[in-house]
Amino acid sequence: MNIDIDIELTILLIMLISMFCIAYWYARSRIKRNSLLPLKVDGDPYLKEVATFKIKTDKTVTAAVRQHEQELEQRYENDAEHLQRKERLSQFARITDLDKALIVIWEEIEHYPLWLKRDDSDKWNKLNLQDINGSNKEDTYSVEFSYNSQQFRITEKTQSETGELKSILTLFEDNVEVFAIECSINAIDEETNHICQQICAFKERGNWPKILLELYGRIRIEKGKSADEMKYFRVNEFKSRFEG
């Protein structure tokens, strides 16, 4: 019994000594770091004055930034719920690929109005859209169409900032804005690729999310089929050129 007590006391003593050593080392290291600057400038009044001014400036900056943050928190206290809603809906749009869906659909249909004059409209209108119409006004181009007895419109407003081409893609359902994203545009040869930068609008109403995902799914299926057809298109040639 006494042996067990002695062992416990020994372990406790070792733990206390370890804690003391750690605390002593931490305190010494902080004192050393904090004393580096004074040690270097104590003998030089000019450098000491600059160092003191630096500390004063840092405190002023920290206080000013914190005060501004508090003012904003008070000013937009009632808007906190709206900011949280924006973050929640933006995250949902990205997780469910609604931003990608709008981009892919737009890149698919933006030329539809020009292709209406072609005789093979049944071939290129793979989405079976109805009442297709396009319009161009200043820096905004739009395509209207009907799908499942509903009227939709997608507009693209382009803008150039510091040499970078950007655009706002907006979806309207029954003439009401329901979804919008800001994109950067990369031009490769004759094709343009849109990359979503942020969600600008998201309305929790209507059927537009399901319509976007449905059309997006149909385009993905067609692209998958085309890729498979291309893979097997020259299979006979591959047979003669790739032999085991």
Q: Where does residue 183 rank: exposed (0-12), middle (13-18), buried (19+ CB within 10 A)? A: buried
Strand pairing class (176-188; 164-173): antiparallel
| Partners of 170 in the β-ladder | 155, 180
The DSSP symbol for 192 reads: E
Q: What is the CA radius of gyration of the chain?
A: 33
Residue 244, SS3 per DSSP: coil
Task: Note the maximum CA span of the chain.
Answer: 103
Task: Tell me the whole-structure pTM to 2 decimals.
Answer: 0.64
Going residue by residue through the chain, which has 244 residues, state the pLDDT in tens, using 9 for 90 and above. 444 555 555 556 666 666 666 666 655 555 444 444 444 666 778 888 888 888 899 999 999 999 998 888 777 777 777 888 899 999 999 999 999 999 999 999 998 888 877 777 667 888 889 999 999 988 899 999 999 989 999 999 988 777 778 899 999 999 999 999 999 988 776 677 888 999 999 999 999 999 999 999 999 998 888 777 676 666 666 666 666 5
